[in-house]
Amino acid sequence: MSITERPTGSRTVHGVCHHDCPDTCGWVVETDDKGVAVRMRGDEDHPFSAGELCPKVNRFLDRVYHPDRILTPLRRVGAKGSGEFEPVTWEVALREVGERLTDLVSTHGGECVLPFSDAGNQSLLSLQGISSRFFNHIGASRLLRNICGPTVGAG
């Protein structure tokens, strides 16, 4: 099935959260006959979350189907803070960000970029992977793993 095709007939779909948490909370979604999710709840049979969902996932359908959801990259066209943007394609957005990052690193070196990288929600993919490789590639050596952890630990 392609990503644009939707199944016909209402059904129940079981899955797990995409937020990359260690427990990967289980959820159950009911869809209408057009394949649109109409209800989401925690999966009571999940071995870790046992039917509970965090606030992020409890509001997931509201975020996905919100009429003001931004569906395309936006480029600022007015002064910073003016709220003036224009839509651009993903190709244009990624190219422009890549060009700006390349220019900055070429001019000022890799240390001009603060290499902040959160561990998502402490998953192996986030902790041992792509962010360290990326920042190492551009020459940034002071990788900051989190902002809130030390604050919480300090009380």
pLDDT in tens, 52-101: 988 888 888 998 899 999 999 999 999 999 999 999 999 999 999 999 99
Q: Which domain holds residue 144?
A: 110-155
Q: Is residue 3 part of a domain?
A: no
In this structure, the answer to whether residues 51 and 83 fall within a common structural domain is no
**114 and 150 in one domain?**
yes
Phi-psi region of 24 (alpha: psi -120 to 50; beta: other; left: phi over 0): left
What residues does 78 pair with on adjacent strands?
A: none
Identify whether residues 101 and 137 lie together within a single domain: no
Residues 18 and 54 in one domain: yes
Higher-confidence residue of 90 and 49: namely 90
Q: Are residues 100 and 59 in the same domain?
A: no
Residues 60 and 17 placed together within one structural domain of the fold: yes
Residues recorded for the chain: 155
pLDDT of 86 reads 97
pTM above 0.85, yes or no: no
Residue at 2 is within a domain: no
CB distance 72 to 85 below 8 Å: no
Considering the domain boundaries, does residue 4 fall inside one? no
Please check whether residue 73 is in contact with residue 89, taking contact to mean a CB–CB distance below 8 angstroms: yes
- Within a domain: 1: no
Q: Note whether 114 and 104 are same-domain residues.
A: no
Q: Is residue 77 located within the same domain as residue 56?
A: no
- Domain shared by 17 and 55, yes or no: yes
Domain shared by 18 and 43, yes or no? yes
Q: Which helix (H) or strand (E) holds 149?
A: helix 148-154
Q: Token digits for 99?
A: 């060009």
In the predicted model, is pLDDT for residue 145 greater than 80? no
Say yes or no: 120 and 92 in one domain.
no
Q: Which residues pair with 42 in a beta bridge?
A: 27
Q: What is the pLDDT of residue 67?
A: 92
Tell me the mean pLDDT in the region 22-42.
88
* Contact of 93 with 87, CB cutoff 8 Å: no
Mean pLDDT (the chain) is 81
Give residue 116's identity as a one-letter amino acid code: F
Token duo for residue 6: 């939707």
Number of separate domains in the chain: 3
6 within some domain? no
Q: Does any domain span residue 26?
A: yes
| Cα dihedral sign, 144-114-87-80 | positive
- Domain with residue 39: its CATH number is 2.20.25.90
My answer on whether 57 and 96 are in the same domain is no
